[in-house]
Amino acid sequence: MRNSVSCECRTGAHRFGPANACLLFAFTVLILNMKGRTINKRRAIVRPANVKNPRGGLTPAGRQYYAKTTGAHLRPGVKKPEKQMTAEELKRKGSFLRRHYATPRGKRLVDAKGQPTRYALQAQAWGEPIPRSMKQVRELSRKGKRLLTKSKATGAIKKPRRSRQRAKQA
């Protein structure tokens, strides 16, 4: 079967031609939709429906799902006022703001309906105002840089230095 493609079901073991459909995948989608779960059709990942927070970021269930699938440990965004943050929290928030807003790469802040996109809403998940213009995006980036320099100035977080002998051996 030259024009056959793999099925989008979770196993990926089924094959079908362009005119046919995988009934097992269609049945799986039907069952999961009845149970309140969503399916990402591109990767066929089954995830709980309440993963994304509508106000930006992930819900606790979303962080738990991400940890289960990737093994990473995501923590919620820091929403404290700047004066109450520890050096580690300053570093986390500063690196988040720099990573996401220093080079926007043409990401849109508003969708076709005039609603803020997930890219814009993620700032709200970290206690920042939703950026409405590129000027506000640059302002968030500058704030991230300021937070990073402030966290380094406290001296509480330092990278472990490698000895010169270890560096020569490597």
Cα–Cα–Cα angle for 28, 34, 36, nearest 5°?
105
Amino acid in the structure at residue 76: P
Q: Is the pLDDT of residue 144 over 90?
A: yes
Mean pLDDT of the chain: 76
Q: What is the pLDDT of residue 135?
A: 93
Q: Is the pLDDT of residue 2 over 50?
A: no
Q: What is the pLDDT of residue 94?
A: 95
Residue 134 carries which DSSP code?
H
Distance CA 68, CA 134 (A): 35
Q: What is the pLDDT of residue 50?
A: 80
- Mind listing the pLDDT tens digit for each residue in 122-143? 999 999 999 999 999 999 999 9
Q: At a CB cut-off of 8 Å and minimum separation 6, what does 83 contact?
A: none
pTM tops 0.85, yes or no? no
Q: Assign 3-class secondary structure to 25-79.
A: HHHHHHHHHHCCEEEECCCCEEEECCCECCCCCECHHHHHHHHHHHCCCCCCCCC
Q: Which range scores top for mean pLDDT: 48-57, 72-81, 102-111, 141-150? A: 141-150
Percent of the chain at pLDDT above 70?
62
Contact criterion met (CB below 8 Å) for 140 and 109: no
Side-chain-facing half-sphere of 144: CA atoms under 13 Å = 22
Count, in order, helices (H) and strands (E) of the chain: 6, 4
Q: What is the pLDDT of residue 158?
A: 54
Q: At a CB cut-off of 8 Å and minimum separation 6, what does 6 contact?
A: 12, 14, 15
- Mind listing the pLDDT tens digit for each residue in 19-68? 445 555 555 555 555 555 555 555 555 666 788 877 788 888 888 888 88
